Amino acid sequence: MNIDRGTLYRHQAENWLRGLLLISGLAALLCLIGWVIAGGAGVAWALGLGVILLLVSARIPPRLILARSAAQQLPPSAAPVLHAMLQELAARAGLGARPMLWYVPSPELNAFAVGTRNNGAIAVTAGLLRTLPRRALAGVLAHEISHLRHNDTWVMTLAAMLSEVTAWLALIGQLLLLALLPLVLRGDVDLPWLALMLLAIAPTASTLLQLALSRNREFAADLEAVNLTGDPQGLADALSRLESNRGIWLENIFLPRRNHTRLPRWLRTHPDTGERIERLLAMLPKRRIPPLMISDPSRDGHLGLSIPDTRVRRPRRSRVFRL
């Protein structure tokens, strides 16, 4: 199935407009903190720092990020079917270079993309390969390729850097105000309440903008993934399985058995999974599924995997774009 081009382009345009506004908001917060600390000179320094982050974030090698997740590169001989899926999806997406495929020895059900459309990588966990059928795996790979195609991973890395630098500058500003405390107590200077308030709320505001940016890009990636596979049901099944698995172990660890609560929408990194699944299922049925290697619902025992028996462990947190 192919999504109507007009609908696809409209969603892409809205996605980039919202992304531009949110990135601009993060940059504005950084400049505001610079102004609080050093006036006009601080704004100039903040703008210069933002440009540096813009250049650096686009040049971080995927290997460097994946090294934090205990990942290992998965050669074609170890996973021929997965590589064949990735090859066809990358060709459909028009990527100049096929993303590298990596394996994370973690029991969690997850996949994530790092890098850019010309130098990207997709990592899949051991739990994902053991749990998802082939059709759902194709939907997951298509979703991550969609992120790479539109450089979502680079945008999110830039947002994370801007947010982190804003938090550090706000901390420096608070320490400078603390140094003025003796003068304030003696009555020599007035406490700058406005500056103090801005320094206090800026890190939280930048984090909320970063979360909104992440949620903004998920719906567009889902839509384009369906355009690549022609199979809304495959991605919907994958999201359902991932949400079920994630909910079980998170609730058992963190939440009382009878008092399950949900995070507010504005505190989530991703949109509500139920809403994403509803949008996907609303696309059924349209046309026949194109001949991508997703017709066989077999699990990883029939994927041709040949992965060393490494110790399964949970990866450390890293700045990646997760499913």
Active site residues: 144
Which residue type is seen at 236?
A
Residue 290 φ then ψ, to 5°: -65, 160
Pair of tokens at residue 33: 């903190």
CA distances from 187 to 156, 181, 183, 184, 191 (A): 45, 10, 6, 5, 9
Q: Tokens in use for 185?
A: 């107590």
Residue (of 58, 62, 44) closest to 161 by Cα position: 58
The answer to whether 162 touches 30, Cβ cutoff 8 Å, is yes
Q: Determine the 3-state secondary structure of 127 from DSSP.
A: helix
Q: Which amino acid is at 299?
A: R
What does the alpha-carbon distance between residue 104 and residue 71 come to, in Å, rounded to a whole number?
Answer: 4
Q: How far apart are CA 113 and CA 142, in angstroms?
A: 11
Nearest in space to 198 (alpha carbons), one of 210, 190, 206: 206
CB atoms < 10 A from the CB of 191, how many? 13
Residue 82 vs residues 136, 228, 237: alpha-carbon distances, Å: 12, 16, 18
